[in-house]
Amino acid sequence: MSTNPVWFITGSSAGLGLALTRYALSQGHTVIATSRNPARTPELVAEVEKQGGKWLTLDALSDENIIKETMQQAESIFGRLDIVVNNAAYCVLGSTEDVPDADVVTQMQVNFLAPLRITRAVLPGMRNRKSGVILNVSSAQGVCPSPATGIYAASKAAMEAASDALGAEVAPFGIRVLIAVPGAFRTNFANAGVLSEPSEAYANDHPVGTRLGWVKSLGSGAAKGDPVKAAKVMFEAATGTGDFGTLVAKENFLRVLIGPDCWRVADAKITEFRRTLDAQKELAGSTNL
């Protein structure tokens, strides 16, 4: 049985998931990495297993029983799972009117329902041990939705809401819930999304068309975020180490904002919300019997 913290990370074959997998291994921790099709990245599987980790197949579209069986298998490898990272996700792009129902359903299955099932599967073991960390990777869009990303934002907002409630529910058992909220990072995330081309009403200079052009630029390397630095922040937050982790633990923060762009849009959202609250205080208080 491993004496080092044991991580379980979904979406380990690319982007922030791969960066976090590598960073945790570099710190001497044990990692069970997962992806939908490990056969596509044999070099990454070999890299992880050479350092004492394991790589499992996990398809977010699998039914509840298969995901539960996968989690039981993962927990049996090293005897426990200390830090579970729900990172695997993708982005559906397009106007809220244009995105087909089938894409909406699949988006919610991958980005919300699969992390929920994984979390439910690991909670019994964490409760028994009275310890554990669940780190759910959200997005700045989950806090501050933009045109053309409404469906993706809804899936992340659902994760945010469930995580907020879950944190209070499991704290008495010694389990901590964290929400990582990254901005734009230099990964292949934008290119891996599903795009519903905007209908004529939403194309060109419409906010949807403009936003889609910006998202496409991210796939060409316009994003400024460094995935390795993001991985370090997530590692410190989950382990309570380093300057960032010490701050998060001391203040008992639920959310971990990653990237100056994420901070800016969140700050603008809070400013607007404050304006709304201040303007409507008397009206809100006028409705009691």
**Could you give the C-alpha distances from 123 to 73, 75, 78, 167, 280, in angstroms and in order?**
15, 11, 16, 12, 40
Catalytic residues: 138, 152, 156
Let me know: does 231 contact 109? Beta carbons within 8 Å: no
Expressed as residue numbers, the domain containing 88 is 6-284
Predicted confidence (pLDDT) per residue in 129-167, tens digit? 999 999 999 999 999 999 999 999 999 999 999 999 999
DSSP 197: P
With respect to residue 88, please indicate whether it lies within any of the assigned structural domains: yes
- The Cα 283–Cα 277 span in angstroms is 10
Classify residue 206: in a domain, yes or no.
yes
Whole-structure pTM value: 0.94
DSSP string, 20-59: HHHHHHHTT-EEEEEES-GGG-HHHHHHHHHTT-EEEE--
Does the residue 11 lie in any domain? yes
pLDDT of residue 193: 73
Other residues' Cβ atoms within 10 Å of the Cβ of residue 271: 10
**Is residue 289 one of the residues assigned to a domain?**
no
Q: What is the CATH number of the domain that holds 202?
A: 3.40.50.720
Residue 19 has pLDDT above 70, yes or no: yes
Tell me 286's DSSP state: T
Residues 6+ positions from 44 with CB-CB distance below 8 Å: 12, 13, 18, 33, 38, 55
Higher per-residue pLDDT: 105 or 204: 105
pLDDT in tens, 222-252: 678 999 999 999 999 999 999 999 999 999 9
- Please indicate, yes or no, if residue 94 is contained in any of the structural domains: yes
Determine, yes or no, domain membership for 62. Answer: yes
HSE-up (13 A, CA, CB side) for residue 141: 19
Count of the separate structural domains present in the chain: 1
Asked if residue 153 belongs to a domain, the reply is yes
User: What percent of the chain lies above the pLDDT cut of 70?
Assistant: 97
- pLDDT number for residue 2: 61
Q: Is residue 1 one of the residues assigned to a domain? A: no
DSSP state letter for 60: T
